[in-house]
Amino acid sequence: MIDQVIKELKNYDGRPVKIMEVCGTHTSSIFKNGIRSMISPKIQLISGPGCPVCVTPSAYIDQLTEYSLKENHCVLTFGDMMKVKGSKMTLTEAKAAGGRVKILYSPLMAVAEAEQNREIQYIFAAVGFETTVPVYALLLEEIQQKKLENLKLMTSLKTIVPALSFICENEKNIDGFLSPGHVSVITGSIAYRELAARYRKPFVIAGFEGEHILAAIYEIMTQIKKQRFEVKNMYASAVTEEGNQKAAAFIKEYFEAADGFWRGIGVIEGSALRLKEEYGAYDAGSAEEEHIEVMPIGCKCTDVILGRINPSDCPLFKTVCNPLHAVGPCMVSPEGSCGIWYQNS
**pLDDT tens column, 269-322:** 999 999 999 999 999 988 665 566 778 889 999 999 999 999 999 999 999 999
Predicted confidence at residue 294, as pLDDT, reads: 73
Predicted confidence at residue 287, as pLDDT, reads: 66
How far apart CA 250 and CA 267 sit, in angstroms, is 26
Backbone phi, psi, residue 83, to 5°: -105, 5
Return the minimum-mean-pLDDT range out of 4-8, 192-196, 241-245, 289-293.
289-293
Average confidence (pLDDT) over 89-107: 95
Band of residue 249 on the pLDDT scale cut at 50, 70, 90: very high
Question: What is the model's pTM?
Answer: 0.92
Predicted confidence at residue 289, as pLDDT, reads: 55
Residue 174: CA atoms inside 13 Å, Cβ hemisphere, count?
Answer: 29
Predicted confidence at residue 333, as pLDDT, reads: 84
Predicted confidence at residue 1, as pLDDT, reads: 77
Average confidence (pLDDT) over 186-192: 97
Predicted confidence at residue 92, as pLDDT, reads: 95
Predicted confidence at residue 87, as pLDDT, reads: 86
Q: Which residues, at least 6 apart from 281, have a Cβ–Cβ distance to it below 8 Å? A: none
Using the predicted structure, report yes or no on whether residue 324 has a pLDDT greater than 90.
no
How far apart CA 97 and CA 100 sit, in angstroms, is 9
Pairing of strands 176-179, 17-23: parallel
Predicted confidence at residue 214, as pLDDT, reads: 97
Predicted confidence at residue 315, as pLDDT, reads: 95
Partners of 273 in the β-ladder: 157, 257
Q: What is the per-residue pLDDT across 149-160, written as a single tens digit (0 to 9) for each?
A: 999 999 999 999
Using the predicted structure, report yes or no on whether residue 89 has a pLDDT greater than 80.
yes
Cβ 24 vs Cβ 337: under 8 Å: yes
